Amino acid sequence: MKVHNFNAGPSVLPNEVLYKASKALIDFDGTGMSILEIGHRTEPFIAVMEEARSLAKELMQLEDDYEILYLQGGATTQFMQVPMNLLDSGDTAAYIDTGVWSNKAIKEAKLFGYVDVIASSKETNYNHIPRQFTVPQQAKYLHITTNNTIYGTQWQSTPETDVPLIADMSSDILSRQMDFNKYALIYAGAQKNMGAAGTTMVAVRKSILGKITRKIPSILDYRLHIENASMLNTPPVFAVYISMLTLRWLKGQGGLAAIEKLNNKKAALLYDEIDHNPLFRGNVVKEDRSKMNVTFTIDKPELEEEFLKFCKKEDIVGIKGHRLSGGFRASLYNALPIESVEVMVEAMKFFSLKKA
């Protein structure tokens, strides 16, 4: 192990993936060329893309009507690509505001139609997931952010609604079992649980497309990407390759059932320490706590810097909180070994005793 990497994204990747990718940088599968040197329309790369697409579909157990795309522009591009493809200018879309990322999605959607923000946890600094809301019948879709990377909240169940449900799952994709078929469209930047920065996975139920009158630029039209098997233009070959390796690794670990078990264990370990250690305090309400991004503060703010320095000495990196929520944030993505969480918990115990 190198260091205990709690970065929020880009973040820790499985060693096995890094090792294979480093080999493929020199010679990809005995082709005598680097993965960066082969054409994207050659057989070896088409096989990579197809495996990445089919593994994502298999891991999420998506029905036949779904297509998987690997696009560019980050999840941030999806903030506008979703409404551009699904919302005509006179239409309304419902959004639930659970923090910074939902807000960015809301801002972009407003460029394309009416946005009804049907619930928000802003008044309590996004410390919970809103439970009271009604989705207007005329809404073309409901958009949620399943995990709030900055504030550390997470939807524990899928909201029931009659309109197509769309989710930004950038920071908890493939971390737990859920009925992914309840979502008409899912998007996620790859750089947390799905690989490296540079590609964004989109899973879309085909039947929701083609229902608007707006003309869509080709590169932003999901239907064209589907027709072209996610190769409308040159895809980000290396990022897709890393994603494919990461999904292979995940399947090898036992898929979502196994990773969920492990993720539950890791989160329980850390939250248990936060709840029992008199020096630390969790930021969000217990029932909405994220198992991916654990946010907490220290009761004596004057010790914050010292704790960060202490962690650094222990090879614990990436736990400084986002400037908007302060304190600390430990991201426990799929590839983070439980041993890293154990080291973190020990560091908290030791530091607290030293300061008692």
Active-site residue identified among 168, 172, 221, 288: 168
Annotated ligand binding at 155? The verdict is no
The Cα–Cα gap between 353 and 356 comes to 5
| Minimum gap (Å) between residue 207 Cβ and ligand PMP | 25
* Residue number, 113 or 189, with CB nearest to ligand PMP: 189
Q: What is the DSSP annotation of 299-315? A: SSGGGHHHHHHHHHHTT
| Minimum gap (Å) between residue 149 Cβ and ligand PMP | 3
Q: Residue 236 in contact with residue 199, Cβ under 8 Å?
A: yes
The Cα–Cα gap between 178 and 175 comes to 9
| Minimum gap (Å) between residue 356 Cβ and ligand PMP | 36
Structure tokens at 101: 């990322």
Active-site residue identified among 101, 221, 249, 291: 101
Q: Which residues bind ligand PMP (CB under 6 A)?
A: 9, 74-76, 101, 145, 149, 168, 170-171, 189
Active-site residue identified among 97, 140, 172, 192: 192
Taking alpha carbons only, the member of 175, 197, 184 closest to residue 247 is: 175
Taking alpha carbons only, the member of 7, 14, 100, 99 closest to residue 331 is: 7
Using the Cα atoms of residue 152, residue 9, residue 73 and residue 171 in order, give the sign of their dihedral: negative
Is 249 catalytic? The answer is no
Cα separations in angstroms, 352 against 109, 277, 305: 46, 7, 14
Annotated ligand binding at 41? The verdict is yes
Is 286 catalytic? The answer is no
| Minimum gap (Å) between residue 189 Cβ and ligand PMP | 3
Annotated ligand binding at 76? The verdict is yes
Annotated ligand binding at 193? The verdict is no
Is 155 catalytic? The answer is no
* Residue number, 108 or 273, with CB nearest to ligand PMP: 108
* Residue number, 74 or 337, with CB nearest to ligand PMP: 74
Q: In the chain, which ranges are continuous DSSP H helix?
A: 15-26, 43-59, 74-86, 100-109, 222-227, 237-252, 255-276, 304-313, 338-355
Annotated ligand binding at 191? The verdict is yes
What amino acid positions are annotated as catalytic residues?
A: 101, 168, 192
Annotated binding site for pyridoxal 5'-phosphate: 75-76, 101, 149, 168, 191, 233-234
- Which residues are part of a known binding site? 41, 75-76, 101, 149, 168, 191, 233-234
